Amino acid sequence: MKKIALQLMIPAALLLLSACGGGSGSAPSSTQADAAHTEAMVQNTYPSNGSAQAMANTKLSATFGGALDPSTVNSRTFVVKKAGSTPVSGSVSYSGVTAVFTPNSPLEVNTVYTATLTTGVESTDGTPLGTDYSWTFSTSPDGDGLPPSVTTTAFAVTQVNGVYGGVVVAFFTDAMDPDTINPENFLVQGPGGDLPGTVEYIGLSAVFLPSQPFAPDTHYTATLTTGVKDMTGQPLTKPVSWTFETPHVSILTGQSTTVATVAPSNMSTGVTLDSEVTVTFSQTMDPATITPNSFRLIDPSGSPVAGTVQYSGLSATFVPASPLQPDTTYQVVVSASAASLSGVPMDSAYHWSFTTGSESSNVPPVVQFTTPLAGDTSVALNDSILVAFDEPMDPLSLTTSTFTVDTADGMPVSGMVTYTGLTAVFTPSQQLDPGVVYTARVSTGAKDASGTPMTSDYVWSFTTGNAASVTAPQVLFTDPALGDANVPSAGPQIDIAFNEVVDPRTVNAGTIVVTGPDGAPVAGSFTYMAFAVIFTPSAPLQGLAQYTVTVNTGVKDLNDNAMPQDYSFYFSTAAAAGSNRPS
């Protein structure tokens, strides 16, 4: 038996069936539309159409693409006949998305039968089958002569209406009797004993849905007992058990806590001796988990550097107690114990390194650009104000006291300031007023990572328009482009350009995901450039391999508009240096 772990959406058959709307082009005839609708509603049957191996004591089943109105599934709407004969006497039951016809006595052997689902069958919203659905099969003395068995098992991550969870799935070789697919015969045990839940039978699969969430990173055991039987009444020859481990909390809950940017950047050189070390996260963290134990600077001997840790907004800063040593490589570790305010820890520790130069820095920071720009008009009312610097800043020095926005008559705008990478963003507490001149100011209280302040206040003004922006950010182009081949595996950069300035707080490993040929995320760092983002892998890529990049809907612009849908592209690497390309 093959055991696999996979991530998939909850099967469509577990969702309520909804009526489909029309499309473009010429309209199909009503007969064609009715037939297509019926084909969509009926997913599969047992015995299958044309089967010649049905046993005389078999039950019949039909599995649907969604839930039905149980009152419409009965012996008048699910009919079995022998050619030229009256209907076979039997009872009809319905469970989950499967209807079962049980003959009152065994069928005749070597006989052709036709089963029909009539248009009296309706979904829960009252939509009937468009046409009668019929299939034909014949019986044989011994059928296939084989008992049922389990082919594959899986733990599947599900998402229903934005809520994540997990289910356990077992796939069978034969159509099973839904009455035997139940919590008494499908057991799941965890550290605390039996896990309560319900069981659904869909097609050739049994699905265990827990009544309480699965715990992440936890071992469970699932068991199918010999009470599980196929449609002919044959049971499993012996109980089937398997173990599985649930994935990290970020996968199981759809939430993630990741490192967005770091300063000094990974593998940077010439870092000044009075530098502080800053890490910016993908979401607001629990300050109690950001400590010298979870955020460490380590010297070449493996000893931690003495210092203090400060946290503000989305960023944590390690302030060394004394200047760093010249021409020295330091390691930085953010441990997996660092967790968000919602309690979601990092999946794993985050490491990077940098090398110092020989001097301290006393060069003051400079503003590189802003958005809105100085003098801009028709600025959207839901805009945030961004300022980018030429070097890493001390996040604790960028607050609503040092980064302010005022009206022309000096009335301050309330809001919050966050720092990410080389940028600070002022987000107003409410929309700006239309047709108003606003003045933004970054004062000399703003300091770089070594504590050097700006030489003077940086001041600029802009004017609002009359409406909020609803334009969603979209990817304009990428480098590598979709389908590019022979991309260098050593030292590659992945550039993604957008149609507008994106919010740096939404650029991280949770929203822009690079995966390799094994499906695992590629570690790396992000460089934010307003209209573009650069991803630099932490290590060389695998040669002669395909990589996929996905920019998901977590990426937003400065107006809080999200990407309308995920954007994915792939590229292939060239042979790694020193390797032999296959002939």
* pLDDT band per the 50, 70, 90 thresholds, residue 7: very low
* pLDDT band per the 50, 70, 90 thresholds, residue 161: low
Is the per-residue pLDDT at 407 higher than 90?
Answer: yes
Kindly list the distances between the CA atom of residue 24 and the CA atoms of 18, 40, 542, in Å, as whole numbers in the listed order: 19, 19, 44
Is the per-residue pLDDT at 347 higher than 70?
Answer: yes
* Top-confidence residue, 15 or 444: 444
Instruction: Kindly state the average pLDDT of the residues 543-566.
Output: 93
Residue 83 to residue 216: CA distance in whole angstroms: 55
What are the b/e assignments for 69-89, b being 16+ CB within 10 Å?
eeebbbeebbbbeeeeeeebe
pLDDT digits (tens, 9 = 90+) for 30-49: 555 565 566 568 888 888 89
Instruction: Report yes or no: 107 and 113 within 8 Å, Cβ to Cβ.
Output: yes
Is the per-residue pLDDT at 576 higher than 90?
Answer: no
- Which DSSP category does 343 fall into? S
Cis peptide before 428 (omega within 30 of 0): no
pLDDT of residue 11: 41
pLDDT of residue 23: 36
pLDDT of residue 342: 81
pLDDT of residue 519: 84
* Top-confidence residue, 216 or 141: 216
Phi-psi region of 302 (alpha: psi -120 to 50; beta: other; left: phi over 0): left
Instruction: Kindly state the average pLDDT of the residues 384-408.
Output: 92
Nearest to 187 by CA among 224, 242, 226: 224
pLDDT digits (tens, 9 = 90+) for 434-493: 999 999 999 999 998 888 999 999 999 999 999 999 999 999 999 999 999 999 988 789
- Which DSSP category does 13 fall into? G
Instruction: Kindly state the average pLDDT of the residues 227-235.
Output: 91
Is the per-residue pLDDT at 428 higher than 70?
Answer: yes
pLDDT of residue 581: 46
Residue-averaged pLDDT of the chain: 86
Is the per-residue pLDDT at 320 higher than 80?
Answer: yes
CA 357 to chain CA centroid, nearest Å: 41
pLDDT of residue 133: 94
pLDDT of residue 427: 94
pLDDT digits (tens, 9 = 90+) for 236-281: 999 999 999 988 877 777 777 888 888 888 888 999 898 899 998 8
Phi-psi region of 435 (alpha: psi -120 to 50; beta: other; left: phi over 0): left
pLDDT of residue 42: 86
pLDDT of residue 530: 83
For the chain, the straight-line distance linking the first and the last C-alpha, in angstroms and rounded, comes to 37
* Top-confidence residue, 56 or 425: 425
Residue 438 to residue 581: CA distance in whole angstroms: 60
Residue 153 to residue 171: CA distance in whole angstroms: 6
Instruction: Kindly state the average pLDDT of the residues 208-217.
Output: 90
pLDDT of residue 90: 94
**Rounded percentage of the chain residues whose pLDDT exceeds 90:** 55
For the record, the structure tokens of 386 come out as: 């961004």
Instruction: Report yes or no: 195 and 167 within 8 Å, Cβ to Cβ.
Output: no
Is the per-residue pLDDT at 25 higher than 50?
Answer: no
Comparing 3-17, 71-85, 195-209, which segment has the lowest mean pLDDT? 3-17
